[in-house]
């Protein structure tokens, strides 16, 4: 008997029925024979996959951008006005080299606190994860600490540096973990 194989689902092809159970599928815990006639049915993963986590990330980036964008503009607006009036022919003004790193550092700290505080709170995730009913836990299913949430945030920087491969890993690992999840020892669950 053949079943179509689809990416992201645990359809198994060419299984033999042995002693009332689908041997390969049940050994892996990936199919349930509770359907009528003992037909294997894919078990939906309790872990949040790549696309729903990507959508949560977009929601969070829109929220952070709405707050940090205007704040960054306040610091950088004088530089933009000066550049538009041709006042940068001799190079950027001296205050530029102190303002830009300050804006970048402020943005990084705001993102870190947003993620670490919300993920370690009773929400167990950022606003995007909360809206999509996702929860971040440790490997035992418990709420994570602020320190672990901080490690997870900085692990995301490593995931980004590696051409986003750390995020793409979510689509291919058994527990839907990215590099940052593996570093911090966390899981993202569908609530």
Q: How far apart (Å, rounded) are the C-alpha atoms in residues 191 and 57? A: 17
Q: Rounded to two decimals, what is the model's pTM?
A: 0.71
Per-residue pLDDT, 100: 81
In this prediction, residues 53-72 reach a mean pLDDT of 94
Using 50, 70 and 90 to split pLDDT, how confident is the model at 33?
low
Is 8's pLDDT higher than 80? no
CB crowding 132-155: b at 16 or more within 10 Å, else e: bebbbbeeeeebbeeebbbbbbeb
Using 50, 70 and 90 to split pLDDT, how confident is the model at 78?
confident
Is 66's pLDDT higher than 50? yes
In this prediction, residues 8-23 reach a mean pLDDT of 35
Task: Give Cα 12 distance to the centre of its chain.
Answer: 28
In this prediction, residues 92-104 reach a mean pLDDT of 80
Helix (H, G, I), strand (E, B) or coil at 11: coil
pLDDT, tens digit, for every residue of 113-126?
Answer: 999 999 999 999 99
Element (DSSP H or E) covering residue 17: strand 17-18
| DSSP-derived secondary structure letter, 170 | G
In this prediction, residues 90-96 reach a mean pLDDT of 74
Contact call for residues 175 and 187 (beta carbons, < 8 A): yes
Per-residue pLDDT, 72: 82
Q: How far apart (Å, rounded) are the C-alpha atoms in residues 77 and 54? A: 31
Tell me what the pLDDT averaged over the chain comes to: 81
Which among 163, 166, 162, 161 has a CA at the least distance from the CA of 183?
Answer: 166
- DSSP for 75-128? HHHHHHHHHHTTTTTT-S-TTHHHHHHHHHHHHHHHHHHHHHHHHTSTT-S-HH
Q: Please give the structure tokens belonging to residue 186.
A: 């966390």
Per-residue pLDDT, 16: 34
Q: Please give the structure tokens belonging to residue 137.
A: 């836990």
Is 137's pLDDT higher than 90? yes
| Residues making up the chain, counted from first to last | 191
């Amino acid at each position: 008997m053949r079943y179509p194989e689809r990416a992201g689902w645990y359809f198994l092809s060419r299984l033999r029925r042995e002693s009332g159970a689908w041997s390969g599928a049940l050994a892996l815990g990936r199919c349930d024979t509770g359907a009528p006639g003992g037909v294997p049915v894919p078990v939906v993963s309790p872990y949040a996959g790549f696309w729903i986590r990507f959508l949560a990330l977009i929601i969070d980036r829109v929220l952070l951008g709405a707050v940090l964008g205007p704040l960054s503009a306040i610091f950088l607006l004088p530089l933009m006005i000066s550049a538009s009036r041709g006042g940068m022919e001799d190079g950027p003004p001296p205050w530029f080299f102190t303002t830009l790193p300050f804006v970048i550092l402020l943005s990084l700290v705001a993102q870190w606190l947003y993620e670490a505080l919300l993920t370690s709170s009773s929400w167990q995730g950022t606003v995007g994860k909360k809206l999509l009913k996702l929860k971040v836990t440790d490997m035992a299913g418990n709420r994570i600490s602020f320190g672990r949430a901080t490690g997870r945030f900085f692990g995301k920087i490593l995931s980004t540096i590696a051409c986003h491969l750390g995020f793409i890993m979510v689509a291919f690992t058994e527990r839907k973990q990215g590099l940052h999840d593996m570093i911090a020892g966390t899981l993202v669950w569908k609530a």
